[in-house]
Structure 1
Amino acid sequence: MILDSGSGVRRRPMHFVRMGMPALVLLSAAMAGAQDIKVAIVDVERAVALSAEGKKAQEKLKAEYDAKSQVIQQKQKEIDSDQNRLKTQERVLSDSAKAELTRNIQRKQTDLERMTQDAQTEIQQLQQDLFRPILQAARTVINSYSAEKGFTILIDVSLPESNVVWWNKANDITDEVVKLIDAAMAAAKPEKSETTAAPEAKTTK
């Protein structure tokens, strides 16, 4: 995930700025005509990433990614070694040996491509599995908090289509959402049952 520092300014290419200006003008006009409109800003991506469970999920995802990367890199080293051998020993290897080595290289390259594709698919699936419950919790607490505070408009600045280039930090509820996510995720965890019973008191005859 690419996180914004939360400074209140989002750096984007100029075409995003130009696209966003009409929306900001319309929003300003609407607010000028209706003083009771309450606007809040949230960075859902940042809130999820900074939550306790979000940090754990990122650690698990990184560990799995690193493990798969090591396997892929080792396979690539084997291919590089075989290719180097074929290049440096071309004159001394027999035709049959060169043909066999070439077939091995091609087979390993095919295996590497399949391995890489499988790893990408598995990482993407793991990412979805890890972050799905956190995102669901985020949506729930954001809806409840917005209703409680009476927000008329809530803008998620982590979405590219939000087109928000600047906002007042006082309107940013991201830090509060992080706390709410942590509380919701903690409450959702099943309580550990007592696995060991207290020892019975010995009776004397």
Structure 2
Amino acid sequence: MTIHCDNFDDLLLEGDTFSMQIAAKHAKDCASCAEKLASWNEISETARGMHASWENEMLWPRIKRAVGAEKQRSRSHVWQIAAALLIFAVLGGLTWRAQERARKFDDVIMREAALEKVEQTEKEHIAAINNLEKMAQPRLSDPSSPLLVSYKEKLMLLDDAIAECQTNIDRNRQNAHLRRQLLAIYTEKQRTLQEVLREESHASNQ
């Protein structure tokens, strides 16, 4: 079965074994789609590890509505919105999960040097994000297109997820799992801000 990049997002959203096999086959010859697939697999693995339940009466309809609306605007950005909502949902159950597994992490606590390195990486992410936010703020404060509106909503969800994760880290600074999760969210926020700036550049060239 031959697919095109335009169909790749649909395969990820289907999520069944056959669709994911087709997506993986296509990604072998497409660097852009390979990056999407890697990000999708990483987030899906995190969700499975949390054993989260997606039958929530409010959450799942919200995800479906967001994905459906985004399909009408720009199919190439559906996976980003779905991924952001998925991250936010996983973090919703992280508080009680972190307390339950606190003692199990005692034997794998990071060494002090490694912790300092991670904190330095976080500071670099924050500095880069702050710079991008300053440049993107004029566009986000008054979004001129449905796509920019969706970016703004996604950034708000990511900010909520960062705050939730940071609260848990403040309770346990040496929890390696939480810090990896926070870095993943920072990376997603940085990528989203870059997309906003690229959209601005594209609009100004038209």
Question: Same fold by TM-score, threshold 0.5 exceeded?
Answer: no
Larger helix percent: 2
The structure whose Rg is larger is 1
Q: TM-score range by the shorter chain?
A: under 0.3
TM-score by length of 2: 0.24
Query: Relative contact order: is structure 1 or structure 2 higher (C-alpha 8 Å, sep ≥ 6)?
Result: 1
TM-score (norm 1): 0.24
